[in-house]
């Protein structure tokens, strides 16, 4: 693996609070890597230590093999897309893109104009180059923020929840564009989000964070299908908890009769069902009083509230956790 960015046992201690706890990460060149975790788990803090806005309390940050602890943000060949975008309100779209080229992009002197034009085209803002940020839509601002950073060709582009300021509909569309943009420019993206769907659909690899620590690193498939802890399992989708571990709702089935040998099953009563278009989500109560969720195809038998059913699954679909999350 051609590693571009390494965090080596990095921690950040604020007075009375450990925001980042001993994180070790290796990110490959050209990779789309996500940091996923709930609000307050230390994602932004981790990103800020890479950008140079904060210094680690302990641990090392390497960029392209060089240790960059203590370097100022303007000395690091990374660039940040801020959650609020932080566009300069007094500069035009072009002025915002030019800003970085004049400072960090000195090596591009002589081809500034060509680069600005290419950046504007890349984000489809050619005809808006003379507008101020206040005269742009949310999606357009987001694209200016991207263009302003990408034009510098940083070794790593750091994105702090860049989609969270957009409305949900736009968010899905921009998500696709972001991914194809990353493929085209080939720049390493370190993408922060608390939205599991975003992380799963965008990432080549991802790290799930909890309370300042990394719980698991892997591809989206590995993390979804083989979560190492209860925390990771439940953060990345629905979970039914059973004695031996857990089950995803989509591999939990319902039947009027007990299934044949080899399947595991429990008797239950239907409490509630929700029609979700392409499938039906059914909540059932076990004899023990616990509830479980099963997802069934919409063509399957319709279950009514109060029906006595059998809930069943295949043993190989059970998830078992080697590393237990600190609760």
Ligand X SMILES: Nc1ncnc2c1ncn2[C@@H]1O[C@H](COP(=O)(O)OP(=O)(O)OP(=O)(O)O)[C@@H](O)[C@H]1O
Q: Any contact of residue 252 with Mg ion (CB under 5 A)?
A: no
Which of 73, 238 has the CB closer to other proteins? 73
CB 235 within 8 A of CB 196: yes
Distance from C-alpha of 146 to C-alpha of 54, rounded to nearest angstrom: 22
Helix (H, G, I), strand (E, B) or coil at 196: helix
DSSP 327: -
Distance from C-alpha of 114 to C-alpha of 81, rounded to nearest angstrom: 22
Residue pointed to by tokens 């194809």: 180
Would you give the binding string for other proteins spanning residues 126-155, x where CB under 8 A is met? ----------------------xx--x---
The least distance separating other proteins from the CB of residue 239, rounded to whole angstroms, comes to: 37
User: How many binding residues for ligand X (CB under 6 A)?
Assistant: 12
User: Among 165, 160, 167, 193, which Cα is nearest to 38's?
Assistant: 193
User: Among 253, 279, 281, 278, which Cα is nearest to 268's?
Assistant: 253
Q: Any contact of residue 90 with other proteins (CB under 8 A)?
A: yes
Paired tokens of 268: 């239950």
Select from 68-76, 207-215, 284-292, 299-307 the region that touches other proteins (CB under 8 A): 68-76
Would you give the binding string for ligand X spanning residues 168-197, x where CB under 6 A is met? --------------------------x---
User: Among 287, 239, 295, which Cα is nearest to 266's?
Assistant: 287
User: How many binding residues for Mg ion (CB under 5 A)?
Assistant: 1
The least distance separating other proteins from the CB of residue 78, rounded to whole angstroms, comes to: 8
Which of 19, 51 has the CB closer to ligand X? 19
Q: Which does 152 bind (CB under 5 to 8 A by kind): Mg ion, ligand X, other proteins, none?
A: other proteins
Rounded CA Rg of the chain: 24
Q: Residues interacting with other proteins, by CB under 8 A?
A: 51-53, 72-74, 79-80, 82, 84, 86-90, 99-100, 102-106, 148-149, 152
């Amino acid at each position: 693996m051609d590693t571009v960015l390494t965090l080596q046992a990095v921690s950040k201690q604020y007075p009375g609070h450990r925001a980042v706890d001993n994180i070790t990460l290796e990110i490959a060149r050209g990779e789309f890597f996500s940091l996923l975790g709930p609000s307050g788990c230390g994602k932004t803090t981790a990103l800020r230590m890479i950008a140079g806005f904060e210094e680690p309390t302990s641990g090392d940050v390497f960029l392209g093999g060089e240790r960059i602890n203590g370097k100022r943000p303007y000395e690091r060949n990374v660039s940040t897309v801020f959650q609020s975008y932080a566009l300069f309100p007094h500069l035009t779209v072009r002025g915002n893109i030019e800003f970085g080229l004049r400072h960090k992009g000195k090596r591009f002197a002589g081809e500034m104009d060509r680069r600005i034009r290419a950046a504007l085209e890349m984000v489809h803002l050619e005809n808006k180059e003379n507008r101020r940020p206040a005269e742009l839509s949310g999606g357009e601002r987001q694209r200016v923020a991207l263009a302003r950073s990408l034009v510098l060709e940083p070794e790593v582009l750091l994105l702090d929840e860049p989609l969270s300021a957009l409305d949900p509909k736009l968010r899905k569309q921009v998500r696709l564009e972001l991914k194809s943009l990353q493929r085209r420019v080939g720049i390493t993206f370190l993408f922060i989000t608390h939205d599991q769907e975003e992380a799963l659909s965008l990432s080549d690899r991802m790290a799930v964070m909890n309370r300042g620590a990394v719980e698991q690193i892997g591809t989206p498939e590995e993390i979804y299908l083989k979560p190492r802890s209860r925390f990771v399992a439940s953060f990345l989708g629905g979970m039914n908890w059973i004695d031996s571990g857990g089950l995803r709702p989509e591999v939990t089935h319902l039947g009027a009769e007990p299934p044949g040998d080899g399947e595991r099953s429990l008797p239950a009563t239907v409490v509630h069902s929700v029609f979700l278009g392409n499938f039906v989500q059914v909540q059932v109560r076990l004899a023990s009083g616990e509830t479980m969720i099963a997802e069934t195809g919409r063509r399957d038998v319709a279950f009514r509230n109060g029906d006595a059913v059998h809930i069943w699954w295949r043993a190989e679909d059970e998830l078992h956790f080697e590393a237990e999350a600190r609760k």
